[in-house]
Structure 1
Amino acid sequence: MENINIEDFKVKGQIKLADFLTELDMDTTKKEEVKALDKVEKKLSEKQDAMYAHNRHAFLICLQGMDTSGKDSLIREVFKDFNPRGVVVHSFKTPNSTELEHDYLWRHYLALPEKGKFAVFNRTHYENVLVTRVHPEYLLLENLPGIEKVEDITPQFWENRMEQMVNFEKHIAQNGTTVLKFYFHMSKEEQRKRLLKRLENPEDNWKFSVGDLKDRERWDDYMKYYEEAINKTSTDFAPWYIIPSDDKGVARYIVAKIIWEALKALTDITEPELDPKVKANIDFYREQLKE
């Protein structure tokens, strides 16, 4: 597991999703995967504490993928050892009436991480060039000038929107936020198995949605638009990583390792020192407390 090279998953040029594996041929057991993840998590939590105290950097972790691709469980497992004060998870659902009164990026700006913190976007601003592209009728709810009907939406509209997203990420990256974007690459067959599991296990029934089946029927469209969005928006300051996700344990480890490498690269992060006057009298304060 430790020999996995994170650069293998980074999008550096034009790609085709069909060329990427959805599962790695790993000669490991589930126990070994958990052990490897625990090791990275420990390093992450220690460095995250220092980043929180340093209070200069922030991280935005963007998770995208088809339903059942493992985003929720990854958040639970990868970030479980983080200081709760230093990480906030946002799950972006269908925009509500207030959000629709603003531009589509407004609610994402509001959820950006404070200095010293991690923000995890479970589904992201990219829904606005994925779901709305597969279902362009949703776009009419935004009441945009010049768009009265679906036929008014031109290819240039989507080009502009993706350019806006790149500019959004460039702006926050230049102001101290590290942006990492992960696409959970899952096979259609694996999704079928996971959806069936939700139906066959009573304790998982609540996770099932008829909408999952409707989106599954548009699988090829989603793959087409994911591929285009990734190709047009993967940059040095906000790279995309394509994560093989048929094996959740391996996917979690790869994501954790990528975050760790990015965090480790911020060499200026140090825990603040005590005020010299306080430090000089630390023995005195200790005696006071003992008494």
Structure 2
Amino acid sequence: MKTINTDDFKITGPIKLSDLPTLIDLKAKNDEVKDALNETREALSDLQDKMYAHNRYSVLICLQGMDTSGKDSLIREVFREFNPRGVVVHSFKTPNSTELEHDYLWRHYLALPEKGKFAVFNRTHYENVLVTRVHPEYILNENLPGIEKVEDIPKDFWKKRMKQIANFESHIAENGTIVLKFFLYLSKEEQRQRLLRRLEKEKHNWKFSPGDLKERGFWHDYHHYYEEAINATSQEKAPWYVIPADDKDACRLLLAKAIWDVLSKYKDIKYPELDDKIKDNMSFYKNELNNEK
């Protein structure tokens, strides 16, 4: 297998998505890729256990991607070795009536991970500068002052929102949340093939919605807005990674390894040391337990 440098997928300057790959050849057989993923996720699971005991950091994993990019299956495969108490997955759908009574970031604040835990956002706060740009009429549901119709939305509206999002991420990062954002970059042809499989395989029929085809018609708009959002909000404390997603196994491995490469740099994450008094009496406690009747 070729050496993987996950920094190659980290966005540190302006990018054009059209210049980036949707497929990567790891020079490895499928079994080798799956074995490497298994090794990485076990290492992540061990680190999460240590992080839970350390109780100083939390981790927020943000996943974005076009329909069929593999977010759900990636979550299942990458995090399946985790202790269930250590990871919570939030799938954000269309805001409900209660959520619409608050600002657009409110529901995301509520879902932030506790110290020692991971949270995975399956679709994220970035929907508010992606879907709403493709369908600006959705903004009207927020009942914002001064916006009664689409034409009332200021030209700098989404630019301001992206700045608000960047500030939100900076704030939580400065308070102990490690923020990592991943765009699963799928080609239009691969999406077509995956949609066809949903129609052709009975067990996957339930996943198909005519709305998938409607949104596919906005493919180029979405990519333009993804590019703008990534360029505007990738920062050292909350970086974006653009992960080639045409090969699901390779995508899962790259994402898992990117998480590991970042978290393994936190050398202060360790199990708490026992109180000196407890240490000094370890033999006493062992004898007491061993001599129980």
Please report the TM-score for the alignment, with normalisation by the length of structure 2. 0.97
* CA deviation profile, 1:136-191 (whole Å, cap 9, x unmatched): 11110000011100111122001100000000000001111111000000000000
Mean CA deviation greater in 274-283 or 113-122:
274-283
Partner Cα separation in structure 1 for residue 271 and residue 224 of structure 2: 45
Offset, 1:262: 1.0
Matches within 5 A, 1:1-291: 1=1, 3-290=3-290, 291=292
Task: Say whether the 8 Å CA contact 1:2–1:36 is kept in structure 2.
Answer: no
Equivalent residue letter for 1:125: H
Equivalent residue letter for 1:87: V
Q: Secondary structure at the match of 2:56?
A: coil
Offset, 1:82: 1.1
Partner Cα separation in structure 2 for residue 25 and residue 112 of structure 1: 35
Partner Cα separation in structure 1 for residue 24 and residue 261 of structure 2: 20
Equivalent residue letter for 1:78: V
Partner Cα separation in structure 1 for residue 155 and residue 31 of structure 2: 48
Equivalent residue letter for 1:110: L
Partner Cα separation in structure 2 for residue 70 and residue 262 of structure 1: 22
Partner Cα separation in structure 1 for residue 280 and residue 210 of structure 2: 65
* CA deviation profile, 1:59-91 (whole Å, cap 9, x unmatched): 110000001101111100111111211111100
Equivalent residue letter for 2:118: F
Task: Say whether the 8 Å CA contact 2:2–2:28 is kept in structure 1.
Answer: no
Please report the TM-score for the alignment, with normalisation by the length of structure 1. 0.98
Offset, 1:211: 1.3
Equivalent residue letter for 1:57: Y
Partner Cα separation in structure 2 for residue 2 and residue 41 of structure 1: 19
Equivalent residue letter for 1:88: V
Equivalent residue letter for 2:24: L
Partner Cα separation in structure 2 for residue 171 and residue 87 of structure 1: 21
Offset, 1:2: 5.8
Pick closer, same or farther for the CA change 1:88–1:200 going to 2, 3 Å.
same
Task: Say whether the 8 Å CA contact 1:62–1:181 is kept in structure 2.
Answer: yes
Equivalent residue letter for 2:79: F
Task: Say whether the 8 Å CA contact 1:41–1:81 is kept in structure 2.
Answer: yes
Partner Cα separation in structure 2 for residue 29 and residue 155 of structure 1: 49
Pick closer, same or farther for the CA change 1:2–1:60 going to 2, 3 Å.
farther
Give the aligned length: 291
Partner Cα separation in structure 1 for residue 264 and residue 223 of structure 2: 33
Partner Cα separation in structure 2 for residue 26 and residue 79 of structure 1: 21
Task: Say whether the 8 Å CA contact 1:59–1:177 is kept in structure 2.
Answer: yes
Q: Between the two proteins, what is the percent identity of the paired residues?
A: 67
Alignment gaps of 5+ in structure 2: none
Partner Cα separation in structure 1 for residue 55 and residue 259 of structure 2: 18
Alignment gaps of 5+ in structure 1: none
Offset, 1:30: 1.2
Equivalent residue letter for 1:155: K
Offset, 1:284: 2.5
